[in-house]
Amino acid sequence: MLDKIEMRLTGSGGQGVILAAIIFADAALTDGINAIQTQSYGPEARGGASKAEVIISKDEIKFPKVVKNDILLALTQKAYDKYVASLDKNGILVVDESINVNEDVPYKIYSLPILETAKEKIGTHMVGNIVSVGVLYALMGEGLISYDTMVKSVSDRVPPATIDKNIKAFEEGIKLIRGW
């Protein structure tokens, strides 16, 4: 169980990385853990660069931006190219399997069918961000934030008509890591 995690979630506008970061921050706060979330996106909004950061810590958070990037999620090649250099050498890189990565690096790489899982298992690419939430949650482990709190945070943040699909997407992301 980690006491502090600094994550940077990246992709293109419209992929929902900002919502994913908000879900993590919301869940951490609900479980009584300190969290801060920041975001930025290009002027194009949909299709432009998008980045969200979330810091989750059992201790006080002294600076609101990611300094030691423990986990980097990249859902597009452009996002990977732009942000991979910011990943800590002991960090974890999570990318969609469509991304070409340099495998001669010191950090752990998870190249997973995130976007394909959303499309094939749930029926829409729109939940790729929530599949990513499941992946990242499984990598963090349940010791920091409880499973029930994560499900509640997902449910509270998505449109009511899509709650079931999004919970299934979250669970499919967990399965990608646990190999179910």
- Answer yes or no: is pLDDT of 180 > 70: no
**Higher per-residue pLDDT: 145 or 14:** 145
The dotted CATH code for 4-178 is 3.40.920.10
- Answer yes or no: is pLDDT of 45 > 60: no
- Answer yes or no: is pLDDT of 105 > 70: yes
Q: Structural domain boundaries of the chain?
A: 4-178
| pLDDT digit string, tens, across residues 135-161 | 999 998 777 899 999 999 999 999 999
SS (H, E, C) 32-85: CCEEEEEEEECCCCCCCEEEEEEEEECCCCCCCCCCCEEEEEECCHHHHHHHHH
Confidence of residue 84 (pLDDT cuts 50, 70, 90): very high
Confidence of residue 42 (pLDDT cuts 50, 70, 90): low
pLDDT of residue 143: 79
Q: Which residues are within 8 A (CB) of 97 and not within 5 positions of it... i.e. 6 or more apart?
A: 111, 112, 113, 114, 116
Given phi > 0 = left and psi -120 to 50 = alpha, else beta, which region is 43?
alpha
pTM for this predicted structure: 0.92
DSSP code for 123: S
pLDDT of residue 41: 66
